[in-house]
Amino acid sequence: MNHRLLAGIAITASLILLVACAAGTNRPAGQTSTPPAAGPAVSLVRTGGLAGVHDQVVVAADGTWSATDRAGARRTGHLSGQQHATLTRLAGDPGIAAESARTQAPTRCADAYTYDLTVRASRVVFVDCPTDAGRPPVATQVIQLISQAVWG
């Protein structure tokens, strides 16, 4: 593995841990906590392209997101109600699990983005090359939704 990939994995794991820890609260003994927000926990790493990007986004179950670019600049935000509902629906689609089991064919593109998407326990990695066959449709919809919400 190259150092860039290892650094990306480490940063993604750190972001997921940070979001998971931030979701917890300190409560006195005996006090019940509120149920977790309905929705998926999603992480997305986007690498490549002409500029050589390395962007990471973590979306918490409540629709809040945190994005970090390759320089380490961090932004946060929140999905709209519609975006959150759509993400929750797509995350529950059985197609995402099927897409995680497929093997990525070699790509014909040199400067396309590579996406590494994790939705709950399903991980889908692919190169977003318009001429490649078999691009994962559900994962592509999730990525489009997150991209639009985070990067406009």
Sign, Cα dihedral of 12, 18, 24, 28? positive
Give which of 74, 72, 73, 88 is closest to 146, Cα–Cα.
88
Instruction: Say if residues 68 and 74 touch (Cβ distance below 8 Å).
Output: yes
What one-character DSSP code corresponds to residue 135?
Answer: -
pTM more than 0.85: no
Length of the chain: 152
pLDDT digits (tens, 9 = 90+) for 2-60: 444 334 444 444 434 333 333 443 334 444 344 444 567 899 999 998 888 999 999 99
What does the alpha-carbon distance between residue 78 and residue 17 come to, in Å, rounded to a whole number? 18
Per the rule left: phi > 0, alpha: psi between -120 and 50, beta: everything else, 18 is alpha
Query: Tens digit of pLDDT for each residue in 65-94?
Result: 999 999 999 999 999 999 999 999 999 999
Domains of the chain: 3-23+39-151 (3.30.1560)
CA distance 68 to 20: 17
pLDDT of residue 99: 95
Q: How far apart are CA 148 and CA 69, in angstroms?
A: 16
